[in-house]
Structure 1
Amino acid sequence: MFLSDLSIKQPVLATMMMVALVVLGLFSYRELSTDLFPKVDLPVVSIVTRYPGVSPETVETEVTKRIEEAVNPIEGVRHITSTTSEGFSSILIEFELGTNIHTAAQDVRSKVSALRRDFPSEVEEPVIQRLDPAEIPIVSISMTSQELGPKQLTALAEKTIKKRLEGIEGVGSVTIVGGQRREIQVLLDLDRLKAYNLTIAEVVGALRSGNLEVPAGKINHGPLEELVRIEGKLPEPEMFSNLIIKTIRDVPVYLHELATVVDGYEEQRSLALLNGERALALEIRRQSGTNTVDMARAVKAAVPKLNEELQGRAVLRIVRDTSVFIEESIADVKITMILGGIFTVLVVYVFLNSWRSTVITGLTLPVSVISAFLMMRILGFTINMLTLMGLSLAIGLLIDDAIVVRENIVRHMQQGRDHYEAARVGTSEIGLAVVATTFTVIAVFVPVAFMGGIIGRFFYEFGLTVAFAVLVSLFVSFTMDPMLSSRWFDPAIEAGIRRRGIARVLEVFDRWFERTHGVYERAIAFSLRHRFLILGVALLSFLGALVLAPRLGSAFFPEFDRGEFQVSFKAAPGSSIEQSETVARQIGKIISGQEGVAYTYATIGSGYTGALNEGSIYVKLKPKRERGLSYWDLRAGLRGQLSAFGAARISVEDVEEMGDAKPIQVSVRGPELKELDLLSAGLMQIMREVPGTVDVDRSLDREKPEVKVTLDRKLASDLGIRLDSLAMTLRAMLNGEVATQYEDADGDAYDVRVRLSENQRRSVDTLEDVEMLSTKKDAAGKDMLIPVAQVASFSRSTSSSQIRRMDLIREVRVSANTAGRPLGDVIQGIRDRRSRLDLPAGYEIVYTGQAEDMRESFQYVNRALLLAVIFIYVILASQFGSFTHPLAIMLSLPLSLIGVVVMLWAAGDTLNMMSMIGLILLMGLVTKNAILLVDYANRLRRSGMERTGALIKAGSTRLRTIIMTTLAMIFGMLPLAFEIGEGAEIRAPMARAVIGGLITSTLLTLVAVPVVYSLLDDLTARLQRAGLFVTAPRTRQLTIDD
């Protein structure tokens, strides 16, 4: 074999190749970013448009529907989802994977830009951007003070803390939640306005013209030039009171005669509570493409310095840090890798009873793992849970080739060959089988790496990382292992050597294991005499596993303890921020009373829509060892206590990162909201009947109270009042209008807002008295002021608080969490009962969310599994030059399913993405043992041995190697299977599936594969005798030297 011969002849070259791989790998490792999961570019574009003070129905008609219809023809659009609420439109456009998202986003901007001129003038500029995972807050910091008031605390946060944090490398943006920004408020007295025959528009105009700084030009003095600037900015807020609004009969009317000027703060639209007490929060987001962990470390390092500089005026505290879980999870996976490597090496030492042989084989592990970092750096991968988990699972696999090569070399040494010859012949003899086993493993990882959908993007790095590490392990096994075996004399393999200490104990084990060879030879002989009995036992075991499999249940991903969760609540539509705060305090008090809760952090009005009746409470738990209850028992107990809370709709769920946190999402679609209301209510009732569903809710809220103003168009036209003038006047009176800005000594600008005083904004009767300037003149040619009540009527009504649309059709989204039952079983229960709901024509029910993701992902996994099996057969048929021998080897595949099902059932796991990926991995592993057995049996038959003797001899000879490699793989995965560390629950099912499959496939392969091999051989012979096959001339099977 070229590689092994070259390495044996050129040991320095072989050593330097290994050194180069390790050095490059170590340098690459230092450059790799760290994150929880691989970087995945989501092909989603969002469009957010604000239309202040307008009802959801109007926003839907004037903005949402127009944009949806404009962007729908864009190539690659998969789904369009929109949410419309009061004064707010949010549209998410999901494109097909593979779409150039930059081009797609530009197409969206072009379409929306063309619509912009058709929008009402009050519609704000749409904000169009790609949906970036970097927009998720990484660190949340609370800011409290015993000395400063809300306005001063907000100013300190804006001027100092926010800017300092945004200057940290990697920080993209800092958003303040719960701040009360300074605002100069001009609170008009309606009676005084009427007394002076003035309108709000005149007040706004006077403020704008009276607070200006205008450049007047420049004066040239020869070589010098001076700018002329008219300084009209008011230096103090109190000076606004003395502005002249209008002169009536030569008498000036000052602002203080019409209004009260207050140096206050903006109307609060968001709120933050730390343990039930008001606080100011800073949500920190990272720059796209930056390292999450490094950014969070820099922020955490800056917080103590800022606290020191604040000198007690305010206190900063980190209340949420997503990087902690990432760091702990990655650290724990590294520990499992190290433990797996130690266990694997110990297995090798136990079987080989030689520390030198153990070192020769064990060196494959660090070289392969470290070299994988080089490939990760070249391809732009990150150190994340999936890439490290792949390397952890592959620990026993990486040393597998080295074990096979070294064990075969040692066998030749024990037969009398010298080290040099044994290394050369032993490697060459086993080489083709090792190549075949390695490529069968790679054959299962390549389909995993190239699965479709978002799930394929997540496992792309996983599959390629393991595949590359396995290739490197093959390279090391054919270079460094034979080189060291030829040069490094190992006295431990010499017969009759005197052993001491643990070596003597292991020698006893070795002698016992040698005796098992005889037992195994008799077992093979018995199996070959009772072939159909053995096949029957294997078949019954397989059928038993199929019967047991449905009891596993199915889920998308395993649930895991992150040490945190959130409680979302939704108060009655129209609730004020004060009412929502009361609800949040009450819920927070119940949460804080639970055993194991460290603290709570609540936010109101900071969600995607900014609704004041919605909020979420982040719950941070104490470390696992300090909790009296498990993570799931704590959540279940809390859910039970909150179920009786009637002031809001409550959901206990995972921390939301992107999208809805609830796993069950069912869309009821159709044209009419009233019918959707009835259908969604019926679906909610059905879902509540399904065991395992909790927190059942829907997107359709109770209708929000409103006051409708109806204009008498004929009368208004006669009196010179336009509809837009009415709307603008009332909006200015209630919401206020920013007339100008006040600049303080530091150059910071604050809005000057004109509106009615608070007591006059509480009654509809006040609005009826508001006067508007007519476009017509009276008989004397003077301006006319027309009371609103003269041209409009007021009535109380209700309207939808939120309207959702999916693919241009209205929808109501019914959602739920699961508890105590797998997601797949719950979804199936809903599907079974859905037929009770009669759908009118034009209405449909569509499953979305995790149910759709799980269905789609399982399809991709099944395709990857099928491709893996096909690739394995192609590789085996090519190696053995036979269409039937690969079938005998592939009998290991269904036999492995027995152990997978039993192990998952015993551990209480479900059939989920992680266990299914483990099943695919298993397809490549379980064939390795059968390949070694069949390859050697064929070699013996070609040398003249009859079939039964060849099978018995091959099994006996390869028994040690098969058991050793299997145990090495099992012990290498044990740390993963035992759920060691943070997030271990998500990793464990994959390892358990592999371990269970390895155990049963190995035990059954040792007896079932020889049986099937013989049966297929007999079948081939019969077909040849029947003339169905033409017997080809006997040819030599390919060897690695070919």
Structure 2
Amino acid sequence: MMESLITSSVRSRWLVLFITLVVAMAGAWQLNLLPIDVTPDITNKQVQINTLVPSLTPVEIEKRVTFPIETALAGLDGVENVRSISRNGFSQVTAIFKESANLYFMRQQVTERLVRARQDLPEGVTPQMGPVSTGLGEVFHYSVEYTHPEGKGAPVKDGKPGWQSDGSFLTEQGERLRDNVAKQAYLRTVQDWIVRPQLRTTPGVADVDSLGGYVKQYVVEADPAKMAAYGISFAELGTALEEANVSVGANYIRRSGESYLVRADGRVRTQDELTRAVVTSRNGVPITVGQITKVNIGGELRTGVASRDGYETVVGSALMLVGANSRTVAAAVGDKLKEIGRILPAGIAVVPTLDRSQLVGATINTVAKNLTEGALLVVVVLFALLGNWRAAMIAALVIPLSLLMSAIGMNSLHISGNLMSLGALDFGLIIDGAVIIVENSLRRLAERQHREGRTLVLKERLEEVVASSREMLRPTIYGQLVIFLVFLPCLTFQGVEGKMFSPMVITLMLALVSAFVLSLTFVPALIAVLMSGPVSEKEVKIITVTKSRYEPWLRRAVARPWPFINAGLGVLVLAGTGAEVQKPLATVVIGGLITSTILTLFVLPAITGLVLRRRRFNDSAKLETRIESL
């Protein structure tokens, strides 16, 4: 079957080249769509259930909230384990699912279980599921801050929104912010009510978190002496505050065929409105909240703070959906923030502080640089060793073509491009099959041309290309099979190891399969097209010198094998004793290459010589043949 494929590729060479071009164009399109990230996402499939009950202690949270939720999730199909955290006023239950489970279906199952569990929870407690994101889902951070922190260098226009001459900040709603709490509460309000709702509509964004500032509250500080003087209790004050913040609809009035809605909107919008709210009356005189209390702008108890350049700000974090493209999502968030920045209140700005797309761009440049340098180095080595620029070009073309074909498989298998997957491509392994086919074809074409004493005609050239490719079919298959078997155990990794290394191994295997297919189709077809003129197959100077220096040592290794075998064992022992010493990765790789080269050039021939001696291989002619083959 493989031999017929080679024959058909050479005979239909122009069709093969056209199909290769079409596949390369499809691969380039798929490469542009390939999700690019820095590292693989190693987070397992999970759902977090968060519950806030500020009035409960950690022990009560564990007994009355965490335990009922854990019990409700028990026995849910697809859940591997459940872990929880119980803190003061806060409960978090995390359900870990199997990797084969459908995350959205499992979230639906968890929702159904939570509905059943609510009857066992304290009244008014509502568990909330976390966003559909992962631990590596934070793709964009930004800071909501004043354009001129603390009013330094700000243009002052009293009466207009912005910084005032007395150091306060006037909002567009007319509120005057005097203290730091009120100013930070205003930043948090802008984040939660202007920036966050619009940012959540960005495609690929799961949620937006807020950190810092204060969640705005109106703080009413009662004066017990004044309340006692007016005979007002705290219960009456609380009831009056509730009744002062209501909105009531009173049906509608029909007139001349039209309906007019009647409603009374008494909701509190400003600090002054709350101050003027009536608590009760004495002798027909209303008693307002401002007469018996002091009303300020404050914030709820916070558990975190954010700052930039030494000034307190509010930081927002955009979380990416599971499986989304971090590069495109981060870029979309950045574009959306620019739109939002044009409608922000006066004196407020949104400043990006972390953009994952920039990091991804740097990663792409690093990977592209490494791949380009590696490809150029391989091309230079090929040209230096083959001595024929056409042959070197044919072998080198396998590198970009295999990469483009791999992109198609990566998108189909939902594998992102990152430092692990793309950075692990080994061009030496990829073009191994193409090199031996090109070199053997070059040799046979030169020998046939020498025998004929003329330039080969088309039929003779095609015959030699087919024959040379068939000769190298078995070594090519064996070489690719050995590489596959070496990396195959990596696909059995589970958990974090599997998520980290499986994309690397799968990408490398896709590249190897692509290169193998190209070696049997594209390479013979292109050889038949390009190698049309005179072909000379001669060894370059570096090969000639290396052979002349290596042959005496090869004869010694075959004649006296034991010293070389013992030396190889000594190298292995030294390598084993130094395995526990931490070394740079480059040192380990270079040392491994040198060791494997020594074993291949000297120890393996020595073992061959030992086998020949044990078989009483005394025929000098046959022995010379074996040495020549080595």
TM-score normalised over the length of structure 1: 0.51
Structure 1 counterpart of 2:592: 997
In 1: Cα distance, 2:229 partner to 2:116 partner: 46
User: CA separation of 1:389/1:134 partners in 2, compared to 1, >3 Å: closer, same or farther?
Assistant: closer
1:330 is the counterpart of 2:346: no
Of 290, 314, 319 in structure 2, the residue corresponding to residue 285 of structure 1 is 319
In 2: Cα distance, 1:54 partner to 1:284 partner: 31
User: SS of the residue aligned with 1:92?
Assistant: strand
Q: Following superposition of structure 1 onto structure 2, how do residues 619-630 of structure 1 map, counting pairs within 5 Å? A: none
Check conservation: 2:275, 2:295, Cα contact below 8 A.
Answer: yes
1:420 is the counterpart of 2:462: yes
User: CA separation of 1:101/1:127 partners in 2, compared to 1, >3 Å: closer, same or farther?
Assistant: closer
Q: Which amino acid aligns with 1:544?
A: L
Q: Following superposition of structure 1 onto structure 2, how do residues 871-950 of structure 1 map, counting pairs within 5 Å? A: 908-909=583-584
User: SS of the residue aligned with 1:549?
Assistant: coil
Structure 1 counterpart of 2:159: none
1:374 is the counterpart of 2:404: no
In 1: Cα distance, 2:260 partner to 2:339 partner: 45
User: CA separation of 1:334/1:72 partners in 2, compared to 1, >3 Å: closer, same or farther?
Assistant: same
Q: Following superposition of structure 1 onto structure 2, how do residues 173-572 of structure 1 map, counting pairs within 5 Å? A: 173-195=207-229, 198-220=232-254, 223-233=257-267, 237-246=271-280, 253-263=287-297, 266=300, 269-301=303-335, 313-391=347-425, 394-417=426-449, 418=456, 419-489=461-531, 493-494=535-536, 510-552=540-582
User: SS of the residue aligned with 2:93?
Assistant: strand
Structure 1 counterpart of 2:452: none
**TM-aligned CA deviation for residue 515 of structure 1:** 4.7
User: CA separation of 1:85/1:315 partners in 2, compared to 1, >3 Å: closer, same or farther?
Assistant: same
User: CA separation of 1:121/1:461 partners in 2, compared to 1, >3 Å: closer, same or farther?
Assistant: same
Alpha-carbon displacement from aligned partner over 1:69-112 (angstroms, at most 9, x marks no partner): 44344455444433322211222233444344445444444444
**TM-aligned CA deviation for residue 251 of structure 1:** 7.0
Q: Which amino acid aligns with 2:591?
A: G
User: CA separation of 1:358/1:136 partners in 2, compared to 1, >3 Å: closer, same or farther?
Assistant: same
Q: Which amino acid aligns with 2:243?
A: S
**TM-aligned CA deviation for residue 452 of structure 1:** 1.7
Alpha-carbon displacement from aligned partner over 1:47-72 (angstroms, at most 9, x marks no partner): 21111133222222322233334434
**TM-aligned CA deviation for residue 24 of structure 1:** 0.9
User: CA separation of 1:118/1:304 partners in 2, compared to 1, >3 Å: closer, same or farther?
Assistant: closer
Structure 2 counterpart of 1:84: 86
Structure 1 counterpart of 2:25: 23
In 2: Cα distance, 1:220 partner to 1:98 partner: 61
Percent identity of paired positions between Structure 1 and Structure 2: 23
**TM-aligned CA deviation for residue 331 of structure 1:** 1.1
User: SS of the residue aligned with 1:356?
Assistant: helix
Task: Identify which range, 452-461 or 516-525, moves more after superposition.
Answer: 516-525
Alpha-carbon displacement from aligned partner over 1:788-826 (angstroms, at most 9, x marks no partner): xxxxxxxxxxxxxxxxxxxxxxxxxxxxxxxxxxxxxxx
Check conservation: 1:142, 1:319, Cα contact below 8 A.
Answer: no
**TM-aligned CA deviation for residue 237 of structure 1:** 4.0
In 1: Cα distance, 2:66 partner to 2:198 partner: 38
**TM-aligned CA deviation for residue 46 of structure 1:** 1.5
Q: Which amino acid aligns with 1:477?
A: S
Which sections of structure 1, spanning at least 5 residues, go unmatched? 497-506, 553-907, 910-988, 1023-1042
Check conservation: 2:385, 2:543, Cα contact below 8 A.
Answer: no
Matched pairs, number: 572
User: CA separation of 1:551/1:38 partners in 2, compared to 1, >3 Å: closer, same or farther?
Assistant: closer
User: CA separation of 1:217/1:1016 partners in 2, compared to 1, >3 Å: closer, same or farther?
Assistant: farther
Q: Which amino acid aligns with 1:317?
A: V
Of 66, 69, 81 in structure 1, the residue corresponding to residue 68 of structure 2 is 66
User: SS of the residue aligned with 1:138?
Assistant: strand
Which sections of structure 2, spanning at least 5 residues, go unmatched? 152-162, 164-168, 170-176, 178-182, 450-455, 617-630
Structure 2 counterpart of 1:748: none
Q: Following superposition of structure 1 onto structure 2, how do residues 527-676 of structure 1 map, counting pairs within 5 Å? A: 527-552=557-582
Check conservation: 2:43, 2:496, Cα contact below 8 A.
Answer: no
In 2: Cα distance, 1:226 partner to 1:374 partner: 63
In 1: Cα distance, 2:344 partner to 2:273 partner: 32
Check conservation: 2:571, 2:595, Cα contact below 8 A.
Answer: no
**TM-aligned CA deviation for residue 19 of structure 1:** 0.7
**TM-aligned CA deviation for residue 329 of structure 1:** 1.9
Structure 2 counterpart of 1:11: 13
**TM-aligned CA deviation for residue 415 of structure 1:** 2.3
In 2: Cα distance, 1:235 partner to 1:157 partner: 18
Q: Which amino acid aligns with 1:545?
A: A
In 1: Cα distance, 2:283 partner to 2:64 partner: 46
TM-score normalised over the length of structure 2: 0.81
User: SS of the residue aligned with 2:123?
Assistant: coil
Check conservation: 2:142, 2:350, Cα contact below 8 A.
Answer: no
In 2: Cα distance, 1:312 partner to 1:137 partner: 28
Alpha-carbon displacement from aligned partner over 1:400-423 (angstroms, at most 9, x marks no partner): 111111111122223235433331
Task: Identify which range, 519-528 or 421-430, moves more after superposition.
Answer: 519-528
Check conservation: 2:341, 2:350, Cα contact below 8 A.
Answer: yes
Alpha-carbon displacement from aligned partner over 1:189-229 (angstroms, at most 9, x marks no partner): 23444555554343222332343222233445585444343
User: SS of the residue aligned with 1:339?
Assistant: helix
Check conservation: 1:59, 1:85, Cα contact below 8 A.
Answer: yes
Check conservation: 2:142, 2:353, Cα contact below 8 A.
Answer: yes
**TM-aligned CA deviation for residue 1002 of structure 1:** 2.7
Check conservation: 1:241, 1:254, Cα contact below 8 A.
Answer: yes
User: CA separation of 1:127/1:356 partners in 2, compared to 1, >3 Å: closer, same or farther?
Assistant: closer
User: CA separation of 1:255/1:535 partners in 2, compared to 1, >3 Å: closer, same or farther?
Assistant: same
